Each structure stands twice: as C-alpha cells, then as structure tokens.
Amino acid sequence: MTAIETPCDKVCTVDHASGLCLGCGRTLGEIGSWSALTDQERSRVMAELPLRMEALRVRQAGTAKP
C-alpha cells in the first residue's frame, strides 16, 4: 500500500468565514474524506490549494489590525 499524498501541515485551524483550513486550504469535508477520495479527486483539490491559500492570505491581510 502506498502513502496518500496530503497537503496537511498539522496547523488544523479553520477560517470560519471561508470554511478552509488555514494550514492546508482544504475544507473540513475534504479533510475528513481525504483517504476515501480517488486519486483524481485528490489531484483536483491539490491543484486548487494554491489559489485558496492566496485568497486566505489576501483576506487575512485585509482584516489585519494596524
């Protein structure tokens, strides 16, 4: 059995506004079902993560207090 690639970096904090993990950018549903997803489904999520993480960074920068 081969290891399943995962973007988890063990931060595991969810942004309530977006529903995305601040560490990896996945939704709770994606995190919970990760091992059951097909390779194609995991690849799709992995491809979306850079844009999700950038959106989270922009959102957090916009809400940061001076």
User: Model-level pTM?
Assistant: 0.84
Identify the CA nearest to 57 among candidates 7, 49, 27, 45: 49
If pLDDT is split at 50, 70 and 90, which confidence band does 1 have?
very low
Reading the block at residue 44, the tokens are 């799709």
State pLDDT tens for residues 7-54.
999 999 999 999 999 999 999 999 999 999 999 999 999 999 999 999
**Higher pLDDT pick, 8 / 64:** 8
The dihedral through the CA atoms of 43, 46, 50, 55 has a sign that is positive
Reading the block at residue 20, the tokens are 């995305």
